[in-house]
Copies of this chain bind each other. A is one copy, B any other.
Amino acid sequence: MSETLADVGEFPLIQRVLADLPQGSAVSLGPGDDGGVFLVDGRAVTSVDVFVEGVHFKRDWASAYDIGRKAVAASAADLEAMGAYPVAVLVGFAAPPDLPAEWASDCVRGIRAEAGKAGLSLVGGDVSSARDITLAVTVIGETRVGLPVLRSGARPGDLVALRGRLGWAAAGLAALRRGFRSPRVAVQAFQCPTPPYGAGAEAAGFGASAMIDVSDGLLADLGHVARASGVLIDLDTRRLEIGDAVQAVAQATGREPLEFVLTGGEDHALVATFPYGQVPQSWTVIGRVEELGGLTPTVLVDGDRWAGPTGWTHFA
């Protein structure tokens, strides 16, 4: 029998989490007291995401390490989407007492690894027992000199630009659902996203007027921007790259490759609107912001309404 959380206990588990924990220079107190303490330069930006086994992840489909990484990556992407710089992360961790302690340790390694990659210092956490493994990840960033980039700032005439991949995680998930572990790159994209760290602050610096990360699907997430800004967004599908792996999964599953790109979530690419002429070089223009012209705010695909499903909602 492998050692379980019940064998290890709450406080030794916390000790394992905290051993040799690296901290950024803004942090004056890491975890272990009633609160973590750190400095914020400019305005503070914060967001929380909850990840539940059986809803957001399955232990069969990804390693504990990747699940820890993905939870932090998805949350860190929210800071990117505000154009904020990363500062601190807190993780609430609930799990059944019979969970192998090694699974928890590997998950914590993943959390720490992705926090390091994202530039976040782990400053707090909590552990509890629960039937489902649950991770609640809170991230805190700072704006430094600029202002945060909201969803509501898109203006007619702005260009819509993308940084990162679309459809890869959805293709990987579709493969896993059919019992495949390939194409490996797509499956890996589902198991752990690679948000374009730093691109959010870059976009803010270039004057992005609105921004969001693609967590639920391009159409769903740009729909939030369209409604918050009161505009139409028209996507030009010729400009959307369809990865080889996405193409391969689409072919194998008899689906439209474009459906993966337009509606697939969890890649955590960044999509932003920029005044004409201000799009950074590393971003790809994929559409335009238009006047409503009497229509309801929405996202058009090559000038038309998209007929298929647009993304994921909970409790549905």
A97-111 CB contacts (< 8 Å) to partner B: 97
> How far is it, in angstroms, between the C-alpha of A123 and the C-alpha of B138 when the chains are bound?
12
Asked if A313 and B10 sit within 8 Å, CB to CB, the answer is yes
User: Known interface pairs A29-B150, A38-B43. Does A9 touch B316 (Cβ–Cβ under 8 Å)?
Assistant: yes
Closest-by-CB residue of B relative to A36 is B46
The segment out of A112-120, A127-135, A155-163, A238-246 that lies at the interface is A127-135
Chain B CB within 8 A of A276 CB: no
Which of B45, B49, B125 has a CB less than 8 Å from the CB of A36?
B45
Interface size of A as a range: 35 or more
Chain B CB within 8 A of A304 CB: no
> How far is it, in angstroms, between the C-alpha of A28 and the C-alpha of B34 when the chains are bound?
27
> How far is it, in angstroms, between the C-alpha of A141 and the C-alpha of B123 when the chains are bound?
14
Asked if B46 and A124 sit within 8 Å, CB to CB, the answer is yes
Which of B47, B92, B314 has a CB less than 8 Å from the CB of A136?
B92
Give how many copies assemble into the complex. Answer: 2
A47-82 CB contacts (< 8 Å) to partner B: 47-52, 54-56, 78-79, 81-82
> Which residues of chain B are within 8 angstroms of A249 by Cβ–Cβ distance?
none
Which of B9, B13, B35, B143 has a CB less than 8 Å from the CB of A79?
B35
A1-31 CB contacts (< 8 Å) to partner B: 5-6, 8-11, 13, 28-29
Q: Count chain B CB atoms within 10 A of each CB in A47, A134, A211, A314 and give the residue with the most.
A: A314
> Which residues of chain B are within 8 angstroms of A92 by Cβ–Cβ distance?
48-50, 92, 136, 138
Asked if B129 and A9 sit within 8 Å, CB to CB, the answer is no
Q: What 7 A-B pairs are tightest by C-beta distance, nearest first?
A: A136-B136, A50-B92, A34-B81, A138-B138, A35-B47, A10-B314, A48-B90
